[in-house]
Amino acid sequence: MTDIEERSRSGLSADELRRSIIDHLRYSIGRPAAALTPEHFYRATALAVRDRMQDNQAATAQTALDLGRKVTCYLSAEFLMGPQLGSNLLNLGIEEAARAALDEIGVGFDEVLACEEEPGLGNGGLGRLAACYLDSLATLECPTIGFGIRYEFGIFDQEIHDGWQVEKTDNWLVNGNPWEIPKPDVNYLVKWGGYVEHYADDSGRGRVRWHPARVIKGVDYDTPIQGYGVNTCNVLTLWSARAVESFALDAFNTGDYYRAVEDEVTSETVTKVLYPNDEPDVGKRLRLLQQYFFVSCSLQHVLHIMDDLADASVRDLPNRFALQLNDTHPSIGVAELMRLLVDERQLDWDEAWGITVATFGYTNHTLLPEALETWPLAMFGESLPRHLEIIYEINRRFLDEVRAKFGDDDDRLRRMSLIGEDDGKSVRMAHLATVGSHAINGVAALHSDLLKKSVLKDFYELWPERFSNKTNGVTPRRFLALANPGLRQLLDDTIGDGWLSHLDRLRGLEKFADDAAFGDKWRAVKRANKARLADYVSSTAGVHLDPDWLFDIQVKRIHEYKRQHLNVLHIVTLYHRIKQNPDIDISPRAFIFGGKAAPGYFLAKRIIKLINAVGETVNNDPDVNRLLKVAFVPNFNVQNAHLIYPAADLSEQISTAGKEASGTGNMKFMLNGALTIGTLDGANVEMREEAGAENFFLFGLTVDEVERVKREGYRPADYVSGNAELATTLDLIAGGRFSRGDSEVFRPLVDNLRHDDPFLVLADYASYIECQEQVSAAWRDVSSWTRMSILNTARSGKFSSDRSIAEYCDDIWNVLPVTVKV
Ligand SMILES: *Cc1c(COP(=O)(O)O)cnc(C)c1O
């Protein structure tokens, strides 16, 4: 027998890579040489690179098991990974080898890279955070499993037709996915619906049997997650739903062939599509099923690994696994782990509860009351009857604990209950996650503070020691090295390449902030990035931008709280000033937007239309288009984010104070040398502290001021009557100036601002316009702007996801790095 340990696919030289790619072209892609397309070369290269991670991955898992080290599990309904090839080449240290190999083969490296269809398995910030955290966990040598859902269709592709968003299904799997390895033999059954039977076993112990209405199979698909400059290679396990064959067979035997096929159809819909967030109510039950499905598979998988350990029992779970809940989407895991331990493993309730709380941690991502997940009680009980019983029992014991500490304070008990009583009973998932976790954290200092004062106040009073802050971060490998190769080279030449894994070292740039020669190089890099983006905008949006203008960029999901419409009010204000006075002296600006709106979010979709309508008018008016241009980049995603963040002069972070939990886009801009115009919201507060107030454009109400204005009764009309320029701006939009005289299309938006304005756009208008004038003045002083830009990058080290993950490791998971030898 041949040696199964022999390795023929792990060589990292250009020549070994070249042979491997050719090998895959012949045996995995299987096309005659004459029929090969760049996509085939991409897939063969991806397979060759995947091979190079396999030994690392096997060694990482084995080392953690052998040494009895704790494994972190990051449970997230979304992972917005972005393209994988560039990132894996960088982390393996084989970019140059791959370039040389493809050169030798005679195909362009960049052309091959561009063929990758990105897996859009997330909506925005939350999913991208999970992806950055996987990169940092591997780089920090922490053995980790990411657990999520293998959606067949990810977030929709956005097209713009006549200024409106049109959604197209995201067919990311059409050409297959070379990064994943399906493991059909690693599968678990997930029950759903039906009823619960209580009975006593032979020893008289109370037992429970769950008779489900349906059973669905979850199949494991593994994607390797390579750390940068280390051997550690973790795994992202995504679950895909299948029909259970035996069920289908039963039906077949009774002659009901079509029922069997139908079951397959409905089972597989469980992981069919990612739901856009902000969707009111549609498909709620399927969403709960998606969440339960992936969490149940993940927990069964973890317990299965525990069962195979010679040196541990299920009671050691908290010493061997840390389970982190990325928002409440996986929080049903608290009840599921209790069910697995109590019903299926016969542990006592108290012991099972101790294990559960010691194992889970919960990260909260929002204070918006409408975004806190709850499930209608009746629907929940029909879907997960046993879990509802378990939640009642958790709640009974929990409320006893509250009573023991605070007495019979009925109001407090009602507020804290896992069951909500307002407008119909519901299960409160944030409360379940909080009660079931030993550690609860917010995602920026301000957000963690507000959590303790608002939505989780009562819980903080009960368990102050469980609360902490973990400010978000982003991976500098993707969002600097890959996205901005020009800046990467300049940094390497100036301060060495240590910053890639020790982002604090960017501080070494501070001493070049006033160096004129360095400033010239800095500006040359930025200008090249702007030219690169201008090409992209020209080909995708048909708008021609001058790279010498100020690039003012707002890219993120479209949402009222993020206030893209405030940005538009500024553009319309400038438009009107220019029309009034064509000789006005304004520094030329390109306003660039991007972002998707949830398909059912009426106002957000109208904001997209407004941006495009204002753009069409501005871009085609010769008085105006010599000073202003407006472009909406369609289909904002990770791939085009690589082009966008590095090209910004000005980053728009203008949410209503208290509404953005952290933001991570703000950090990506800062890392790439953009200055920020922003409110004191989310991580902006900490960014300003790091950069220095003199290097940040601050405007708007603070959280306290927002609260006071709301308390005293906010009247947007007062701001309109007190500011003629604002009144005119709104009149221009409402009157149809940007819609060929149509005074209906933007009426809902303008009415909303004039009469309701829940996010205080009009209250911040004057302050924003004034601050934008400071921006324009600062832009005119080239060397001063350059200095501020350099200092923003130099002081962005805190916002590496490596720093965030190191804090999670120390304070929440209690894990240490594990050096992997291959
Ligand atoms: C970083 C990122 C986000 C989050 O942006 P915010 O400005 O923090 O809302 C959303 N989508 C993509 C593609 C991103 O890369």
User: How does pLDDT run across 86-121, given as a tens digit for each residue?
Assistant: 999 999 999 999 999 999 999 999 999 999 999 999
Q: What is the reported pLDDT for 3?
A: 60
Let me know: does 482 contact 475? Beta carbons within 8 Å: no
Residue nearest to atom 5 of ligand 1 (CA): 665
Query: Against a cut of 0.85, is the pTM above it?
Result: yes
Of 45, 55, 14, 20, give the one whose Cα is nearest residue 110.
Answer: 45
Cβ-based neighbour number of residue 55 at 10 Å: 15
Whether residue 589 has its Cβ less than 6 Å from ligand 1: no
Mean pLDDT of the region 762-768: 98
d(CA 466, CA 469): 10
Neighbours of 744 (CB within 10 A): 9
Q: What is the pLDDT of residues 550-597, one digit of tens each?
A: 999 999 999 999 999 999 999 999 999 999 999 999 999 999 999 999
Can you tell me the mean pLDDT for 74-96? Answer: 98
pLDDT category of residue 1 using cuts at 50, 70 and 90: very low
Distance spanning both ends of the chain, measured CA to CA? 23
| Nearest CA owner, ligand 1 atom 8 | 663
Model confidence band, residue 675 (pLDDT cutoffs 50, 70, 90): very high
Measured CA to CA, the distance from residue 771 to residue 288 in angstroms comes to 44
Q: Has 565 been annotated as catalytic?
A: no
Which secondary-structure segment (H or E) carries 650?
A: strand 650-653
125 close to ligand 1 (CB < 6 Angstrom): yes
The one catalytic residue in 24, 214, 339, 365 is 365
CA distances from 605 to 167, 429, 557, 602, 746 (A): 11, 29, 11, 5, 11
Tokens of 571: 């553009």
C-alpha of residue 642 to centroid of ligand 1, in Å: 11
Q: By alpha-carbon position, which residue is closest to atom 12 of ligand 1?
A: 124
User: Domain spanning 68-83+118-471+807-813: which CATH class is it, in words?
Assistant: alpha beta
Nearest CA to ligand 1 atom 1: 665
**Chain centre distance of CA 36:** 35
**320 among known catalytic residues:** no
- Mean of all residue pLDDT scores within the chain: 95
Residue 696 vs residues 27, 316, 677, 775: alpha-carbon distances, Å: 55, 49, 7, 10
Q: What residue segments make up the domains of the chain, in order of their start?
A: 1-67+91-117, 68-83+118-471+807-813, 476-799
Is the domain defined by 476-799 classed in CATH 3.40.640.10?
A: no
Q: Is 130 in the pocket of ligand 1 (CB under 6 A)?
A: no
Residue with the smallest CA separation from ligand 1 atom 11 is 124
Note the pLDDT of residue 11: 86
pLDDT at 261: 65
556 is known as an active-site residue: yes
Between strands 360-363 and 321-326, the pairing is parallel
So what's the pLDDT on residue 720? 98
Instruction: Note whether 68-83+118-471+807-813 and 476-799 share their fold.
Output: yes
Catalytic residue flag (residue 183) = no
Q: Is the CB of 124 under 6 A from ligand 1?
A: yes
pLDDT at 274: 94
Does 120 contact ligand 1 (Cβ within 6 A)?
A: no
Q: Around 396, how many Cα atoms within 13 Å sit in the side-chain half-sphere?
A: 7
pLDDT beyond 60 at 736: yes
Helix (H) or strand (E) holding 748: helix 747-755
Active site residue 729: no
Q: Is 128 in the pocket of ligand 1 (CB under 6 A)?
A: yes
Catalytic residue at 562? yes
Specify the ligand 1 atom closest to the Cα of 663: 8
For a ligand 1 pocket test, name from 79, 80, 133, 677 the mutation site with the most ligand atoms within 8 angstroms of its C-beta: 80
Among 259-263, 606-610, 683-687, the least confident range: 259-263
Q: What is the pLDDT of residue 266?
A: 82
C-beta 638 within 6 A of ligand 1: yes
Q: 330-351, pLDDT tens digit by residue?
A: 999 999 999 999 999 999 999 9
Cα(419)–Cα(458) distance, integer angstroms? 15
Q: Is the Cβ atom of 729 under 6 angstroms away from ligand 1?
A: no
Ligand 1 contacts CB of residue 637 (under 6 A):
yes
- Residue 10's pLDDT band, with cuts at 50, 70 and 90, is confident
